[in-house]
A and B are shown apart, each in its own frame.
Chain A
Amino acid sequence: MIREYLADEGFRLDGVEAALDGLLRLGPVRTHTRELTFYDTFDALLREAGMTVAVSDPDEIPAAARELAGVRALLPLARVSVTTQTAALLDELDKTVVRLELLTPRGLAPRIRLEGLRGYEDELARVEAALGLEAPAPECLRDEAVRAAGGHPRGVSAKVTVALAPETRADAAIVAVLGALWTVVEANWEGTVDDLDAEFLHDLRVCVRKTRAVLKEFPGVLPPALRALWRAELKWLQLITGDTRDLDVMLEDFTALAGLLDGGALEALEPLRRVLIQRRATARRLMVRDLRGERAQTLRTGWPELLGALERLPGDDRPDASGTIGALAGERILTVHRRMVKMGRALEPDSPAEDYHELRKQGKELRYLLELFGMPLHDATVVKPMVKALKELQDVLGRHQDREVQALTLRRLSGAVAAVPDGPDALLAMGALVQALGADERAARREFGDVFRAFASAEQRALARRTFRS
């Protein structure tokens, strides 16, 4: 059990024994100074798991931290020189009962850390009382260091949540949501350009897609001309990042894809992997050129400017702007829900793949609306199961679409793969893979009926009406 407190100015370890007034004895004090770097993923996965990694050398990062990080890169978030004085507090048997540390990080607040040993909780409480330590430090050293370095202690996630009140003006609520989404896009921009890991681009694209869904589904909140302009610009941003993301997904899923075939496929498909890596490098070069280009810079300044000014714009061509977000969002959620039910009912087992894809796109929009507006504005215990039913449907539709796109990508790459060493052998495996993908796509179609019926059941539709009809 470790407790951390901010130390008063002038706190010294050698004064502790006097403060304890014979209660415990201070053991020998050891002092050392280390240059520590705090590591975590951009979305603070380690912090979320309760792990702090502060090391002098990246080689010291524990394997458990790398495992937790998964596909995300462990980034140096803050560097601090910390002088630590350590001593044991000993009872009359010379037994350590509490460990005491005074941390003096350069440029940050000094801290006292107390570690109570099991079975000596009373002694820990007495030490806290004797030293006048009451309120624990408001944030840990890691968080303070990351904040001081200009970072986000809790990390940046694409799961944007904005607290909303139903009676808020619609344009104010939408500006708040779009602003929060753009903050995440901006936060991920440099990591995308620098290719720190593939999730920067993924999170950037998720938030752009959510922004586009909001613009599409709330047509009466922005002036039509401005809405059309920014929808086009955001579509362009999605377009220039699309190829790289598709190739990232292919490479991330490569082992799993090879798993669709019999053993040995991974080795046979190696030439394909090399081609994917080459293609990704090319796609990234083009993407980075565009992200650094003038059009992107205009987007980065112009879009937040519009959000800052939107509520002051005249309302005559924005009929929904002055309504309440509760009523407007509920009406939009119901509309998209009904649209999905209608589209899904029209699907047949042999409908074109494009129709399934259109339903999936609607599903994404509905999910974003539920997460961005449904959850904050309505009873989360009702909305969460709706999101879950939708997610199950989306998983099947997503698999269907992914298989379609993957098979198409493989066909397109066949010429390039044939031209590399061992390519002809890889083509055989790719042919088998296209077949396996087709079989899995058909399996997804067969599963669609059940998950769609669950999503579009009379109970679910009635629940949606009860929840979102104002």
Chain B
Amino acid sequence: MATILATYNIKGGVGKTSAAVNLAYLAAREGARTLLWDLDPQGASTYLFRVRPRIHGGSEDLIHRRTPVADQIKATDHDRLDLLPADFSLRHLDLALDAFKRPTRRLAKVLEPLHEDYDLIVLDCPPSASLVSESIFDTADALLVPIIPAMLSSRTFDQLADLAREGATGPRVFAFFSMVDVRKPMHREVMARLRGVHHLSMLGAAIPASDDVEAMGEERDPVSAFAPASVAAMAYEALWWDLRRRLAAPVSPTLSR
């Protein structure tokens, strides 16, 4: 049975795709059969793995299961790491989901046939608070929320944690600091304060604002693959190590959900 991990934030440009791509790569490198589903119509993960952003029959056929999901999967250039690519039609996913009686269970249904094929499924989610988000909460075992250390972002995390708490069986929520610039006093202050408040669901590793992460667009590969000795790659390794350890630990109902 695969573990489903979603990188999520209501805001865009906070490092969701970079985290999804690098963590999926690291999991596969460690031996886990891993699938990354690019749910963002912009298709950034798909682009990074050099795959055409196209689903046969579009996302509507996929979620109606008229197109077998297994037939749409593409291997990446890395062993054990596969991709379910994005498609521009994903921009209408909210509408398509709304047509179902239990719309928030639909993404889980689509993934059902893949549970024996993979150990880990990573969902790279679009930035929004919508029916798609709720579907992701109903599908994922854990949400991973990148937070830029700024006031607005911490409010974002509070909103998200509230949302996840609404469902009794909602996913565990973990957050990490992303695009961190330790030279900025504001970043240091917010990190210290948030770690104090959310210390058990905040992961220890922080991903720096880094040229290497930005270079992923040029290299079209995870930073952990093309610059494994870089600070950013090591930060992702630390993040994966911490997250994997916590995913393996028993759920603490009061603190982690």
Q: Are B73 and A95 in contact (CB under 8 A)?
A: no
Assembly CA distance A201 to B60 (angstroms): 64
Residues of B within 8 A of A118 (CB): 73-75, 82
Contact of B52 among A88, A93, A94 (CB under 8 A): A93
Assembly CA distance A374 to B50 (angstroms): 60
In the complex, B77 has a CB within 8 A of chain A: yes
**Separation in Å of the B48 CB from the closest CB of chain A?**
11
Residues of A within 8 A of B50 (CB): 93-95
In the complex, A96 has a CB within 8 A of chain B: yes
B interface, CB within 8 angstroms of A: 49-52, 72-75, 77, 82, 220
In the complex, A51 has a CB within 8 A of chain B: no
Assembly CA distance A285 to B49 (angstroms): 64
Q: Are A94 and B220 in contact (CB under 8 A)?
A: yes
Q: Are B49 and A119 in contact (CB under 8 A)?
A: no
Q: Are A120 and B74 in contact (CB under 8 A)?
A: yes
**Separation in Å of the B74 CB from the closest CB of chain A?**
3
List 5 additional A-B contacts (Cβ < 8 Å) besides A95-B77, A117-B75. Answer: A95-B49, A95-B51, A118-B75, A119-B74, A119-B82
Residues of A within 8 A of B82 (CB): 118-119
**Separation in Å of the B45 CB from the closest CB of chain A?**
14
Assembly CA distance A119 to B52 (angstroms): 11
Assembly CA distance A93 to B52 (angstroms): 8
Residue on B with the closest CB to A117?
B75
**Separation in Å of the B34 CB from the closest CB of chain A?**
13
Assembly CA distance A119 to B50 (angstroms): 13
Assembly CA distance A117 to B49 (angstroms): 13
Assembly CA distance A451 to B49 (angstroms): 62
Residue from A95, A96, A117, A120 having most chain B Cβ neighbours under 10 A:
A95
Q: Are A96 and B77 in contact (CB under 8 A)?
A: yes
Give residues of chain A (75-96) contacting chain B, Cβ–Cβ below 8 Å: 88, 93-96
Show 11 residue pairs from A and B whose CB-CB distance is below 8 angstroms, ordered by the A residue.
A88-B77, A93-B50, A94-B50, A94-B220, A95-B50, A95-B77, A117-B75, A118-B82, A119-B73, A119-B75, A120-B74
Assembly CA distance A93 to B49 (angstroms): 9
Assembly CA distance A117 to B220 (angstroms): 18
Residue on A with the closest CB to B49?
A95
Residue on B with the closest CB to A96?
B77
Assembly CA distance A119 to B35 (angstroms): 13
**Separation in Å of the A430 CB from the closest CB of chain B?**
46
Residue on B with the closest CB to A115?
B75
Residues of B within 8 A of A93 (CB): 50-52
Assembly CA distance A96 to B79 (angstroms): 12
Residue on B with the closest CB to A118?
B75
Q: Digit string of A105-149 for contact with B (CB within 8 Å is 1, else 0)?
A: 000000000000111100000000000000000000000000000
Q: Are B52 and A120 in contact (CB under 8 A)?
A: no
Residue on B with the closest CB to A88?
B77
Assembly CA distance A118 to B82 (angstroms): 8
Assembly CA distance A94 to B51 (angstroms): 9
**Separation in Å of the B208 CB from the closest CB of chain A?**
28
**Separation in Å of the A293 CB from the closest CB of chain B?**
53
Residues of A within 8 A of B75 (CB): 117-120
Residue on B with the closest CB to A91?
B50
Pick the 3 closest A-B CB pairs, nearest first: A119-B74, A95-B50, A117-B75
Assembly CA distance A117 to B50 (angstroms): 13
Residue on A with the closest CB to B71?
A119
Assembly CA distance A88 to B50 (angstroms): 14
Residues of A within 8 A of B74 (CB): 117-120
Assembly CA distance A14 to B125 (angstroms): 42
Assembly CA distance A88 to B78 (angstroms): 12
Assembly CA distance A93 to B53 (angstroms): 12
Assembly CA distance A250 to B23 (angstroms): 51
**Separation in Å of the B169 CB from the closest CB of chain A?**
32
Residue from A88, A119, A120 having most chain B Cβ neighbours under 10 A:
A119
**Separation in Å of the B78 CB from the closest CB of chain A?**
9
Residue on A with the closest CB to B51?
A95
**Separation in Å of the B136 CB from the closest CB of chain A?**
24
